[in-house]
Structure 1
Amino acid sequence: MSKIIVPQAKEALNRFKMEAATEVGVNLKQGYNGDLTSKQAGSIGGQMVKKMIQAYENSVK
């Protein structure tokens, strides 16, 4: 069982996930999204990683 250390981070990650989903054209609902295909879920995760890498690269310039 994982414990949330920074409760504010959970909401920020949720917003980030929703933003990434919108960018790749996947309609996420609040709550359960178990009906997504693996391709849809993977595209959301991939978009999130892409944006995190871009943010890091911009911060070290």
Structure 2
Amino acid sequence: MAQQDRSNNNNELLIPQAAQAIEQMKLEIASEFGVNLGPETTSRANGSVGGEITKRLVRLAQQSMGSQFH
């Protein structure tokens, strides 16, 4: 797959088996934030959930990497 092809699909999971865990994380965060996900949800609300998913995934990666070097 060419570099350009990969950059056009930001929603493609590199590890498809992670889809269920990502979906569960999304639902948990939406619940924590009081966001009802659906077609009527505002971009701002969806963005807050997506941003929090990103923060948590980065934190998990940093913890994983940190434990490899100790």
TM-score calculated relative to the size of structure 1: 0.69
| Aligned residue number for residue 14 of structure 1 | 23
Structure 1 residue 48 displacement after superposition: 0.3
Give me the CA root mean square deviation.
Answer: 2.0
Gaps of 5+ in 2: 1-14
RCO greater where, 1 or 2, for CA within 8 Å and sep 6 or more? 1
Task: Compute the displacement of 1:12 (Å).
Answer: 2.2
Paired-residue identity, %:
38
Aligned length: 53
Bigger Rg over Cα: 2
Unaligned runs of 5+ in 1: none
TM-score of the superposed pair, with normalisation by structure 2: 0.61
